Amino acid sequence: MSQISPLQAARATYQPKLPAVLSASGPFAKPVFGKATKSVADQAAIKKLFPDTYGLPAVKFEKGAKRKVKALNVAVILSGGQAPGGHNVIAGLYDGLKALNAQSKLYGFLGGPSGLIDNKYMLLDDAIIDAYRNTGGFDMICSGRTKLEKPEQFDKVIVNCKALGINAIVIIGGDDSNTNACVLAQYMIDKKTGIQVIGCPKTIDGDLKNEWIEVSFGFDTATKVYSELIGNIMRDANSARKYWHFIKLMGRSASHIALECALQTHPNACIISEEVQQKNISLNQIVWDLTNLVIKRASKKMNFGVVLIPEGLIEFVPELNPLIAELNDSMAEGTELGDQFNALPDMDAKIKFVEAHLKGDNLAVFKPLPTFVKAQLLGDRDPHGNVQVSKIETEKLLIAMVEANIKAYNGATGNNVKFSTQAHFFGYEGRCAAPSNFDADYCYALGYNASALIGAGLTGYMSSVRNISKSADKWEAGGIPLTMMMNMEHRHGKDVPVIKKALVELDAKPFKTFAANRDKWAEEVDFVYPGPIQYFGPAEVCDRTTLTLQLERA
Ligand code: FBP
């Protein structure tokens, strides 16, 4: 590891808080089983696919007595995008396993799921774990996006795990990785391996949440980092009074991150993709709403402002969705059109080709788009050959379109509304931040709790720590069957079982609170400057949770 900063050194000594039941009983807490569960939808189909893990009861840990547990060998992977706190999940898991039996071993498989498949691992020991306690990043064992979903891959995992005498695999990941964990758990039963599979809910996006998983880890820290940056920009905007800042925020499809940052900072506008979709708001309408806001603020001598834009917006705009679908289909590799398109020498030729082949409405939407957006729509594909929607610079697209409207407005009215802009994209700035106290505690508890689930012999569960809007001593620990979160979805031409993604709900408190305040925030300077995450100091400053969580659990 590189040299550590004084803050990191102080932070290394932080002892994360645990739910009272785990503090009292350690990983020997007693599992108390609830009633049989069912999946959120498509019960018959899910039951058929997961005959042994479907219907498992939810588990709640209660006080338990120390008992003799054999030494366990456990494999752990980090899967997908980085999220603050991942190292603490591993540290909690490690401490819990050692408490169960000091001879237990934890193997970190390297680079995500591919490490399990290709048998790349390292044995984690005290020195490694101690070096990474309470740090951000996933660099202890690194992560990856290989999908662990095919029987051939599972078979390799079995061979590799058997060679090390692995009793359980812990998959720390988002909805896709935990979907795969669910499939792997059933596969391990089918093949009578006795290897348990436990999931942990990770993603800054906040879209792996439901009645039992109140939040995925990383959301708290990442949104605090973005909100700090947004607050700094707001203060700059309010000081210089000459720029409109358009800020795109990571979060993939869901707008949870944008919404939380809006609640924390009170921007002049924040677009929520789920609202755009439900109310069928066109791109033109979004742009005119922003244009009118710029004009209105200009009339009050406020030629500045801050606009938040969720990463996934493009997919939710009604007229862009069919356009993207047609581009995905018509340019797919192996099709006649796709092969002709791919053979073209440069982007100019590709744009002309696509304009000659797009149909009716989609052509009308594509044609007026700025050239850089056309190029991004036609540029690199994802591994499935689809448009990489997240790479489209929506913040710049909106700026260009508002600019054109303002120009037309100034021309038609003789006014001189100024619209000078700055574009930003925040995502990587927050994914590896040192975890907030909340994420440090929550992650450690999730990992420690996973060791208790393993010690109890369970498989096909997600580590669940609940009641987390309260102080940690009131948190509840347990496990939720992965099958409980599943439904069937149509993906890449097939109906497949997946964990249901949580999008922003327009009738829930976080959105309603935002909607009730946004007009006031639009026209005034009501900015809030949250400042940096604090690790040492009063609990009301250092341990506060996100506003989303507070509003949802109020
Ligand atoms: P996960 O769902 O895997 O946690 O990813 C989170 C995320 O940060 C998204 O917000 C973002 O769209 C994506 O990862 C970017 O990933 P990459 O850096 O691999 O392109």
Ligand 1 proximity of 17 Cβ (cutoff 6 Å)? no
Ligand 1 proximity of 258 Cβ (cutoff 6 Å)? no
Of residues 245, 273, 255, 257, the one with CA closest to residue 221: 257
241: left (phi over 0), alpha (psi -120 to 50) or beta: left
Nearest CA owner, ligand 1 atom 1: 81
User: What are 520's strand-pairing partners?
Assistant: none
Nearest CA owner, ligand 1 atom 17: 81
Counting from 1 in the atom list of ligand 1, the atom nearest the Cα of 80 is 3
Rounded Cα gap, residues 205 and 216, in angstroms: 8
Give the torsion sign (CA, 103, 109, 110, 111): negative
CATH, domain 315-392, list 1.10.3720.10, 2.60.40.10, 1.10.10.480, 1.20.120.80: 1.10.10.480
Q: How far is the CA of 442 from the centre of ligand 1 (A)?
A: 21
Q: How far is the CA of 312 from the centre of ligand 1 (A)?
A: 11
* Active-site residue, from 175, 176, 205, 207: 205
Ligand 1 proximity of 203 Cβ (cutoff 6 Å)? yes
Counting from 1 in the atom list of ligand 1, the atom nearest the Cα of 79 is 3
Nearest CA owner, ligand 1 atom 5: 81
Class of domain 21-218+435-489: alpha beta
Ligand 1 proximity of 172 Cβ (cutoff 6 Å)? no
Q: How far is the CA of 80 from the centre of ligand 1 (A)?
A: 7
What is the CB neighbour count within 10 angstroms for residue 32? Answer: 13
Q: How far is the CA of 121 from the centre of ligand 1 (A)?
A: 23
Counting from 1 in the atom list of ligand 1, the atom nearest the Cα of 250 is 10
Evaluate whether 109 touches 120 at the Cβ level (below 8 Å). Answer: yes
Q: Which residues of 139-152 are buried (b: 16+ CB within 10 A; e: fewer)?
A: ebbbbbeebbeeee
Residue 502 exposure: Cα atoms within 13 Å on the Cβ side: 22
Q: How high is the mean pLDDT in each 10-residue block of the chain (554 residues)? A: 86 96 98 97 97 98 97 98 98 98 98 98 98 97 94 97 98 96 98 98 97 96 98 98 98 96 98 97 97 98 98 93 86 82 92 92 92 90 74 95 97 97 97 98 98 98 97 96 96 87 97 98 97 96 97 94
Rounded Cα gap, residues 307 and 426, in angstroms: 13
Nearest CA owner, ligand 1 atom 12: 252
Q: How far is the CA of 147 from the centre of ligand 1 (A)?
A: 14
Nearest CA owner, ligand 1 atom 10: 251
* pLDDT for residue 1: 57
Ligand 1 proximity of 374 Cβ (cutoff 6 Å)? no
User: What are 32's strand-pairing partners?
Assistant: 60
Would you state the CATH architecture of domain 220-311+395-432+524-554? 3-Layer(aba) Sandwich (3.40)
Rounded Cα gap, residues 451 and 456, in angstroms: 9
Rounded Cα gap, residues 283 and 294, in angstroms: 17
Evaluate whether 168 touches 75 at the Cβ level (below 8 Å). Answer: yes
Nearest CA owner, ligand 1 atom 15: 81
Q: How far is the CA of 24 from the centre of ligand 1 (A)?
A: 37
Counting from 1 in the atom list of ligand 1, the atom nearest the Cα of 257 is 10
Rounded Cα gap, residues 332 and 409, in angstroms: 41
Rounded Cα gap, residues 218 and 245, in angstroms: 25
Question: Which part of the chain is CATH 3.40.50.450?
Answer: 21-218+435-489
Nearest CA owner, ligand 1 atom 7: 81
Q: How far is the CA of 84 from the centre of ligand 1 (A)?
A: 13
Phi and psi dihedrals of 60, rounded to 5?
-125, 135
Beta-carbon contacts of 411 under 8 Å, excluding residues fewer than 6 positions away, are none
Question: Which part of the chain is CATH 1.10.10.480?
Answer: 315-392
Counting from 1 in the atom list of ligand 1, the atom nearest the Cα of 252 is 12
Ligand 1 proximity of 174 Cβ (cutoff 6 Å)? yes
Ligand 1 proximity of 390 Cβ (cutoff 6 Å)? yes
Ligand 1 proximity of 250 Cβ (cutoff 6 Å)? yes
Give the torsion sign (CA, 340, 341, 347, 353): positive
* pLDDT for residue 485: 96
Q: How far is the CA of 301 from the centre of ligand 1 (A)?
A: 39
Write the CA distances from 528 to 262, 425, 516, integer angstroms: 10, 20, 17
Ligand 1 proximity of 252 Cβ (cutoff 6 Å)? yes
CA 42 to chain centre: 25
Nearest CA owner, ligand 1 atom 16: 81
Ligand 1 proximity of 199 Cβ (cutoff 6 Å)? no
Of residues 202, 199, 205, the one with CA closest to residue 178: 199
* pLDDT for residue 382: 72
Question: Which part of the chain is CATH 3.40.50.460?
Answer: 220-311+395-432+524-554
Evaluate whether 31 touches 477 at the Cβ level (below 8 Å). Answer: no
Q: How far is the CA of 439 from the centre of ligand 1 (A)?
A: 18
* pLDDT for residue 359: 86
Interaxial angle between packed helices 219-240 and 256-265, expressed in degrees from 0 to 180 and rounded to the nearest 10: 50
Ligand 1 proximity of 80 Cβ (cutoff 6 Å)? yes
Q: How far is the CA of 120 from the centre of ligand 1 (A)?
A: 23
Rounded Cα gap, residues 134 and 440, in angstroms: 6
Q: Which residues of 370-394 are buried (b: 16+ CB within 10 A; e: fewer)?
A: beebbebbbeebeeeebbebbebbb
The answer to whether 42 is a known catalytic residue is no
Ligand 1 proximity of 81 Cβ (cutoff 6 Å)? yes
Counting from 1 in the atom list of ligand 1, the atom nearest the Cα of 427 is 8
Counting from 1 in the atom list of ligand 1, the atom nearest the Cα of 431 is 8
